[in-house]
Chain A
Amino acid sequence: MIQIRLRYFASFAEAAGVDSESFTLDHHDARRLFDDLKARYGFRQSAEHVRLAVNDRFSDWHTPLADGETIVFIPPVSGG
């Protein structure tokens, strides 16, 4: 089991109703975590359009999640 912290931004924060929360996971799979959150909160973006950050760095979806990490799923950006 690993404990991770999630932070949410933009429509993901709106959908989740919180800016951050902690989860205990029985796996290390970022894609599975995203799909679970998408089902729970009704995120509109599919994983293909979402980027992943781990501990404030862009990360790869295939890198196993580890205990204590802060995870952010990043919906398509619209700055500028």
Chain B
Amino acid sequence: MFTISETPLDLAALRALCQDNRAGGFCSFEGWVRNEHQGRAVKGLDYQAYVELATIEGQRILAETALQFPVIRVVAAHRVGSLAIGELAVYVGVSAGHRDAAFAACRHIIDAIKVDVPIWKRGHYLEGASGWLHPTA
């Protein structure tokens, strides 16, 4: 299940979605708002999503991951809105029979989210400037 949330992500609830009696391992990734970006001091980030397409793409990534890796449950969630330093921006949780698949699938999901899901962040910098981030490889 992939969700986009305007309110703080509920870690316990997301983790609970991964629990399953067949699972012997669980791996999660949390993306947090960091206090600097490319050497500039950051005071916060705004996240904006193209919700309709972001939800479709997020669900596609999770479904494809569940086919590619021997996992049991896959969950991801992304915050939108204004986030402060240290806040949770993105969560990925994977349960599996064994740890190798949980680690690999978790990594695969967050990497794919960062490439394909239409969500953007705008940095607010301590010196007063702000700007949308559009990284090109």
* Interface range on chain A (Cβ under 8 Å from partner): 20 to 34
B-side binding surface: helix, strand, loop or mixed? mixed
B53 CB-CB contact with A under 8 Å: yes
Contacts of A49 in B (CB 8 A): 134, 136
Binds B, one of A33-41, A60-68, A71-79: A71-79
Query: A9 contacts B31, CB within 8 Å?
Result: no
Query: B50 contacts A79, CB within 8 Å?
Result: no
Query: B110 contacts A80, CB within 8 Å?
Result: yes
Known: A58-B53, A79-B113, A80-B31. A14 touches B118 (CB 8 A): no
Query: A80 contacts B90, CB within 8 Å?
Result: yes
Known: A9-B118, A10-B120, A57-B56. A76 touches B136 (CB 8 A): yes
B124 CB-CB contact with A under 8 Å: no
* Complex CA distance for A49 and B50, rounded to whole angstroms: 17
Q: How many A-B residue pairs have CB under 8 A?
A: 78
Query: A53 contacts B53, CB within 8 Å?
Result: yes
B66 CB-CB contact with A under 8 Å: no
* Complex CA distance for A61 and B116, rounded to whole angstroms: 17
Query: A75 contacts B50, CB within 8 Å?
Result: no
Query: A76 contacts B135, CB within 8 Å?
Result: yes
* Complex CA distance for A78 and B57, rounded to whole angstroms: 14
Query: A77 contacts B117, CB within 8 Å?
Result: yes
| Beta-carbon contacts under 8 Å, B114-137 to A | 114-122, 131-136
B52 CB-CB contact with A under 8 Å: yes
A26 CB-CB contact with B under 8 Å: no
Name A residues whose Cβ lies closer than 8 Å to a Cβ of B.
7, 9-11, 14, 44-45, 49, 53, 56-58, 72, 74-80
When A and B form their complex, which 9 residue pairs have the shortest distance between CB atoms, in order from nearest?
Answer: A79-B119, A10-B120, A78-B133, A11-B132, A76-B134, A56-B52, A80-B114, A10-B132, A75-B134
Jot down 9 A-B pairs with beta carbons below 8 A, ordered by A: A7-B50, A9-B118, A10-B120, A44-B134, A56-B52, A74-B53, A76-B135, A78-B121, A79-B90
